[in-house]
């Protein structure tokens, strides 16, 4: 039997669908930090930068059995602390690596479980993916403060899921684009141009989701990056330190446990 809907009912249903679509898409941002001067949306809704004199290096897509240990070695040699946004599926595959990251003094956040685009995903999918990623980290003893959704895509469901878990969203203000750069020099040039106080730098400790050679190019750019931090009097810090009210950390030196090269 055909149901004849009154025009007002149709209009109302259309408004609901429209509102749902708006709720899904309007808050969406994809990174943006490189092209704006926005620091953060107050209340932990979303952050692109911190305050103070620090610079937060962040590594996405790990842990990776090939590259994460190498990245940790290079960071230790350069005296650079960092924040690792781990992918839940990789945590489950190589759980022991997360402990290695933590024991080295770095912070750990979540990067979701399946590394899928959030734009256009229904709320239940985003919640389930985040739940799975947090469960994976919990199994290795980590309860993260920070969430960086894959590709820096923040939709309405991303925001709701993050808030329901009291997670703070962290995107970035600088990147090396090592997945697209021709060589380490190009990665370094892009990074050095954006090293300012409060910067959040996007890097990767896995190339399982990007072209082979990406991490190697990034690693070769870390030495010049460390030199430039020293030259500008900037300290590498974790995200927690970058946003802490007290946080104006002094540049690390060999005397206070920092770089030794
Ligand atoms: Zn990623």
Expressed as residue numbers, the domain containing 138 is: 32-243
* Mean pLDDT over the full length of the chain: 83
How far does residue 42's CA lie from ligand 1's centre (Å)?
A: 24
| Cα(7) to centroid(ligand 1), Å | 46
Is 60 annotated in the active site? yes
Mean pLDDT of 63-86: 97
Task: Encode pLDDT of 209-235 as tens digits.
Answer: 888 888 999 999 999 999 999 999 999
Give the pairing of strands 146-147 and 168-169: parallel
pLDDT value for 197: 92
What spacing in Å lies between the alpha carbon of 151 and ligand 1's midpoint? 6
pLDDT tens, 82-136? Answer: 999 999 999 999 999 999 999 999 999 999 999 998 888 889 999 999 999 999 9
- Choice between 252 and 179, residue whose per-residue pLDDT is larger: 179
How confident is the model over 176-193, as pLDDT tens digits?
Answer: 888 888 888 888 899 998
Element (H or E) spanning 46, and its range?
strand 46-47
Q: How far is CA 207 from the centre of its chain?
A: 15
Active-site residue among 111, 204, 205, 207?
A: 204
Residues paired with 200 in a beta bridge? 56
pLDDT digits (tens, 9 = 90+) for 14-30: 444 444 444 444 444 55
Query: What is d(CA 79, CA 226) in angstroms, rounded to the nearest whole number?
Result: 9
Catalytic one among 60, 64, 205, 207? 60
Is 42 exposed, middle or buried (CB count within 10 Å of its CB: 0-12, 13-18, 19+)?
exposed
Residue 22 lies in a domain: no
Residue 23 lies in a domain: no
Domain count, the chain: 1
| Domain harbouring 89, CATH code | 3.20.20.370
How far is ligand 1, taken at its centre, from the CA of residue 117, in Å? 10
Task: Assess contact for 201 and 56: CB atoms under 8 A.
Answer: yes
* 204 tagged catalytic: yes
- Confidence check: pLDDT of 12 > 80: no
| 133 in Cβ contact with 110 (< 8 Å) | yes
Does some domain include residue 8?
no
Distance 119 CA to ligand 1 centre (A): 14
Q: How far is the CA of 30 from the centre of ligand 1 (A)?
A: 12
Most confident of 44-53, 177-186, 233-242: 233-242
Q: Per the domain annotation, does 222 fall within a domain?
A: yes
Residue of 65, 55, 103 lying closest to 222 (CA atoms): 55
How close is the Cα of 61 to the center of ligand 1, in Å?
5
What kind and span of H or E run contains 9? helix 7-25
Residue 53: other Cβ atoms inside 10 A: 18
Q: Tell me, yes or no, whether 9 lies in a domain.
A: no
């Amino acid at each position: 039997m055909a149901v004849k809907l009154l025009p007002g009912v149709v209009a109302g249903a259309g408004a609901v669908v429209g509102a749902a679509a708006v709720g899904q898409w309007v808050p969406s941002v994809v990174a943006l930090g490189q092209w704006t001067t926005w620091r953060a949306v107050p209340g932990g809704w979303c952050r692109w930068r911190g305050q103070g004199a620090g610079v937060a290096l962040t590594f996405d897509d790990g842990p990776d059995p090939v590259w994460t240990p190498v990245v940790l070695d290079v960071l230790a040699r350069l005296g650079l602390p960092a924040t690792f946004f781990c992918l839940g599926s990789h945590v489950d595959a190589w759980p022991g690596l997360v402990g290695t990251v933590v024991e080295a003094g770095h912070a750990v956040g979540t990067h979701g479980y399946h590394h899928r685009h959030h734009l256009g995903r229904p709320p239940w999918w985003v919640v389930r993916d985040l739940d799975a990623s947090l469960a994976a980290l919990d199994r290795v003893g980590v309860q993260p403060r920070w969430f960086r959704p894959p590709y820096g895509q923040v939709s309405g469901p991303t925001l709701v899921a993050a808030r329901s878990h009291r997670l703070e969203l962290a995107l970035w203000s600088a990147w090396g684009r090592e997945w697209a750069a021709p060589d380490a020099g190009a990665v370094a040039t892009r990074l050095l141009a954006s090293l300012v106080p409060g910067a959040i730098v996007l890097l990767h400790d896995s190339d399982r989701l990007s072209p082979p050679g990406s991490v190697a190019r990034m690693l070769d750019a870390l030495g010049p990056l460390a030199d430039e931090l020293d030259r500008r009097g900037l300290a590498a810090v974790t995200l927690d330190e970058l946003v802490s009210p007290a946080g104006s950390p002094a540049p690390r030196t060999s005397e206070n446990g920092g770089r030794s090269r």
